Amino acid sequence: MRPGRLGELLSLELPVVQGPFGGGLSSVELTVAVSEGGGLGSYGAHHLAPDGITALVARLRTATDRPFAVNLWVPQDGEPRPDGLPDLTAHVERLRPYYDELGVAAPTAADLAAWPDFNEQLDALLAAAPPVISLVMGLPPRRLVTEARRRGIALIGTATTVAEAVALEASGVDAVVASGSDAGGHRGAFLRPVRESLVGTFSLVPQVADAVTVPVVAAGGIADGRGVAAALALGADAVQIGTAFLAARESGASPVHRRALGGPEARTTVLTRLFSGRTARGIPNRFVREMAAHEDLVPPYPLQNALMLPIRRAAAEQERADRVNLWAGQAAGLSRPDVRAADLLAALVAEPQASTAAG
């Protein structure tokens, strides 16, 4: 498998990017395993404070001399700031039965206001200068583009539509991830509402490849060599694989989450705002079904994320699959739970060749 234009840009051996997972699902071990295997390992750092980002990049640099990416979420218009929190009493009371059931306390006002500032995160990340910075949910600020170029940092943006891909290229990114609606986890739409930006991966990729000149990375619904071969045939320069790596033993996913991936329940996924306040794709469980009527009522990110954090953590610790967020893409049923990342990479390389030979 040739490294392609992305490989040439980033000195990769394989045209494979590990999807960045936020909320503690990333791990240094997985990032390093993918980078050492010749792909681009990624770490989702949107939940980390600036000093945590500094420490993270230092750990990654110590663990590997290969390229890796650190990912941040771009703030979206209309999301609240810590100095202007609304009254959340009704939202806390809606979740009270779940706090009580799992034996945890509801967040305090201080908890709700304690999320990292994006600009401070950006300052820390630029100072740490990882080989690659990737972004979801928006365009890179101009100062990020300027400083990244000055420091030799490659920038990757994420698009859910052709228009977003064109805007990202115009903003100065070095590569674009074309993230189809098949993808698991949070949707990154930023020019139009999510419901107007649900383009399937294999419809999105060739249109983005025709619309931009920078390398295109296909993401969503790719979990094995057949998906890799299809994405490359449609014009992608590389693939980004999330759910299949989330199932790997090196990921930060809880055991109950990893077991769910690849199981029969993973054949069905839904889009929901219930766990974070931003729309994300995951396996529906009892919590999602019980709270479905409140989808449009929960507060935006990061407030709903903070309200749900004690529930998500306790459910994972107690191995309560009915209460935890089980992020998964639409190809989750192809995942291999507890596979080693190196073995998954090897299979991704071998399977397209086998498929081509068979054809």
99 Cβ partners below 8 Å, 6+ apart? Answer: 105, 106, 310, 311
Per-residue pLDDT tens over the stretch 14-25? 999 999 998 889
State the pLDDT at residue 77: 84
Q: How confident is the model at residue 83 (pLDDT cuts 50, 70, 90)?
A: low
State the pLDDT at residue 86: 84
CB-CB contact of 302 with 79 (8 Å): yes
Per-residue pLDDT tens over the stretch 251-292? 999 999 999 998 899 999 999 999 999 999 999 999 999 999
- Structure tokens belonging to residue 127: 């100072």
Q: How confident is the model at residue 352 (pLDDT cuts 50, 70, 90)?
A: low
CA-CA-CA-CA torsion for 161, 167, 169, 175, nearest 10 degrees?
-40
Question: Percentage of the chain surpassing pLDDT 90?
Answer: 88
Model's pTM, two decimal places? Answer: 0.95
Per-residue pLDDT tens over the stretch 225-234? 999 999 999 9
Question: Percentage of the chain surpassing pLDDT 70?
Answer: 97
Q: Which residue has the tokens 């590997």?
A: 64
* Cα dist from 220 to 24, 63, 200, whole Å: 20, 28, 8
What is the Rg, in whole angstroms, of the alpha carbon atoms belonging to the chain? Answer: 19
State the pLDDT at residue 82: 64
State the pLDDT at residue 78: 79
Query: Looking at residues 189-203, what average pLDDT do you find?
Result: 97
pLDDT at 51 over 80: yes
d(CA 275, CA 174): 32
Query: Looking at residues 120-138, what average pLDDT do you find?
Result: 98
State the pLDDT at residue 104: 98
Query: Looking at residues 63-70, what average pLDDT do you find?
Result: 98
pLDDT at 7 over 50: yes
Q: Is 219 left (phi over 0), alpha (psi -120 to 50) or beta?
A: beta
CB-CB contact of 134 with 157 (8 Å): yes
- Structure tokens belonging to residue 167: 């805007």
pLDDT at 353 over 60: no
State the pLDDT at residue 224: 95
CB-CB contact of 272 with 83 (8 Å): no
Query: Looking at residues 131-141, what average pLDDT do you find?
Result: 98
State the pLDDT at residue 359: 47
Query: Looking at residues 48-72, what average pLDDT do you find?
Result: 98
Kindly give the residue spans of alpha helices, DSSP state H, lying in 103-141.
109-113, 118-128
pLDDT at 354 over 70: no
Task: Indicate the average pLDDT of the chain.
Answer: 94
- The answer to whether the peptide bond before residue 20 is cis (omega within 30 degrees of 0) is no
Query: Looking at residues 176-185, what average pLDDT do you find?
Result: 98
Query: Looking at residues 204-232, what average pLDDT do you find?
Result: 97
